[in-house]
Chain A
Amino acid sequence: MKFDLDDIYIEDTCRESALTKRIVARADIPVHFVEDGRVAARPRLDAVDSFAAGKRRLVIMRRRSPFLMACPAGSAKFACCGYLVLTLASNCPMDCSYCFLQEYVADNPGFQIYANYDDAFAELDKLIASTPARHFRVGTGELADSLAMDSLTGLSIELVNFFAARENLTLELKTKTDEIDNLLAVDPKGKVLVSWTLSPRRVFEACEHRTAPPSARIEAAKRVLESGYRVAFHLDPMIAYPDAERDYLALMDELFSAISPAKISFLSMGGLRMTAGLRAAARRRFPKDAMLLGEDVLAEDGRYRTFAPMRIRLYKILADKFKAAGAAVPSYLCMETASVHERVFGAPPSHPAAAGERLATIR
């Protein structure tokens, strides 16, 4: 997949970095040098849609804050999968109407890629040295798609090689693309999970602009699986539109007919949830998208969610499908309470650290 960019802004301190040189050599677009990349990442006041404009402005810069952090979706209120986030980039060239980045990076929408990612590797080594008995699942797909710009950055190769050489780390590359060529060239040694967000075709067509079609994502998953990667899928966000039950079940049939359930490391589910700010931003940018207008009500956590019985029913139907798939596929819920978890899976959620460990080591 190729995404259009208008300009590249390079922070002065990153001029000589290997990443900068790779990107400049591969992208045939105007390059500008700036003293501080953060300024280039700010919203353009003259843009009609500054978030969309930010997606087309690549900023290669130094990351000032730590690369590694706990998943921002985690909270004491929710069951948690113990996921650690490695932020190598911020924003995404795709444009899903429901995406939380519309609110989360509204003040710095420039598409940032961090050239000092060696520091991220140092942070990871420090982590495993400090807790050698634990196993961590670390993902790069929270504030950006893990693979969308990989043909430009080549970062996946370095990441896979780094994780392949470390016993108690598992990398999760999360994507909505079929950009897997670099992955096929390296041996993950069983230490890398590639996961896809999956949605029924109707959601893809209505909401997931510039992403790969669901069937292409499944096909890409098949290919990386054959190359020694583990695969996982996220049904997140699940949107409870009128035919959702039928369509999500059909999507699972398509998935399980392409990939044996026994070979899927895990499946996660999470209903569409939007803060009032995200809802307003999404509606402003996609006023005709009916998927943003489900039967969503204000939930206890201050987010708009499909009203509880309907949302939980959809989870249960899918959880039953996973169980009936021949090999029970490990699964979890994202940003749901322990009671919802128990209603869906019949058991309370594990402690986040235990869940993280389990998901990191599942084959």
Chain B
Amino acid sequence: MMRDETTAANIRACAESRHLDDAHTEKWLAMLTPSRLALLDYAERLKLRTGQLAAAIDLLDEIEVREGIAPAQILARDDLRRICTNNGSTPWRAAAFIEALRKIRFPRLQIAIDRLESEIAALRLPASIAVVLPKDLGSDELMIRISVRTGDELEKALEVLAEKKPALMRMVKMIGGDDTE
């Protein structure tokens, strides 16, 4: 497929207006015409900011190498198209678009996070206790935060934790590689 040089000026203008660095601009321009046009469409409709546009270019490139799927095909997915047309604010939709690309780029991470988050939700913890997952599951450390002001509150929080111990232990194991599939 030939690259359409007529789109180059539009892409350069879009990149320039966002002060996109040269490396990302060149990577965008190196995409085949359907892909670079599709990204231009998203960039304009969602008013992607510089960092978002750079992230989108990187994620699309990485998905293409990993899955062998061209950016145009990825950007044609229904779940991504819907983000452009739903009712949220433009900044919210832009953030949702990047998040959706990340989910495609990191499919198994997303499954692991979803499972752990549903375990946390099932705990039905009081507001005084929070179970915090490490960012992107980058470590095996599970943080359990207790926020109290009085002895009574502490007593209650500790009772809840004792009651939830089996479920919490299961989460500690999950984050350590047990039952992640």
Q: Which residues of A contact B (CB under 8 A)?
A: 287-290, 293, 295, 297-300, 305, 307-316, 337, 339-340, 343
Contact = CB atoms under 8 A, between A and B. Distances in A.
Contacts of A300: 134, 138-139, 141
Contacts of A309: 112, 137, 140, 174-177, 180
Interface in B37-90: 62, 65-66
B178 A308 contact: no
B136 interface: yes
Given A290-B65, A293-B66, A313 B180 contact: yes
B106 interface: yes
Nearest to B63: A293
A288 B65 contact: yes
B40 to A, nearest CB: 22
A316 B173 CA distance: 12
Given A297-B138, A307-B108, A340-B176, 7 more contacts: A295-B106, A297-B109, A297-B136, A308-B139, A309-B180, A310-B177, A343-B177
A309 B138 CA distance: 9
A315 B176 CA distance: 11
Nearest to B181: A313
A343 B106 contact: no
A339 B175 CA distance: 12
A297 B108 CA distance: 12
Contacts of B178: 313, 316
Given A300-B139, A307-B136, A295 B177 contact: no
17 contacts: A293-B62, A295-B106, A295-B108, A297-B135, A307-B106, A307-B108, A308-B137, A309-B176, A309-B177, A310-B112, A313-B177, A313-B180, A316-B177, A316-B178, A337-B140, A343-B140, A343-B176
Most buried by A among B66, B106, B140: B140
Interface residues of B, number: 23
A192 to B, nearest CB: 35
Interface in B107-133: 107-109, 112
A290 B176 CA distance: 25
B165 to A, nearest CB: 19
A293 B175 CA distance: 22
A287 B112 CA distance: 28
B138 A308 contact: yes
A311 B138 CA distance: 10
Contacts of A313: 177-178, 180-181
Given A309-B175, A312-B176, A287 B138 contact: no
A309 to B, nearest CB: 4
B140 A290 contact: no
A343 B174 CA distance: 11
B139 A299 contact: yes
A293 B134 CA distance: 21
Nearest to A241: B66
Nearest to B174: A309
A211 to B, nearest CB: 22
A312 B140 contact: yes
User: Ordered nearest first, which 10 A-B pairs have the shortest CB separation?
Assistant: A312-B177, A313-B177, A297-B136, A307-B137, A309-B180, A343-B176, A308-B140, A299-B138, A297-B138, A295-B109
A311 B65 contact: no
Nearest to B173: A343
B137 A293 contact: no
Nearest to B180: A309
Nearest to B112: A309
Contacts of A308: 134, 137-140, 175-177
A307 B177 contact: no
A170 to B, nearest CB: 32
Most buried by B among A293, A309, A340, A343: A309
A249 B125 CA distance: 40
B167 to A, nearest CB: 17
A155 B2 CA distance: 54
B177 A315 contact: yes
A346 to B, nearest CB: 11
B115 to A, nearest CB: 9
A307 B66 contact: no
Nearest to A298: B138
Nearest to A292: B65
A315 B178 CA distance: 11
A15 B98 CA distance: 59
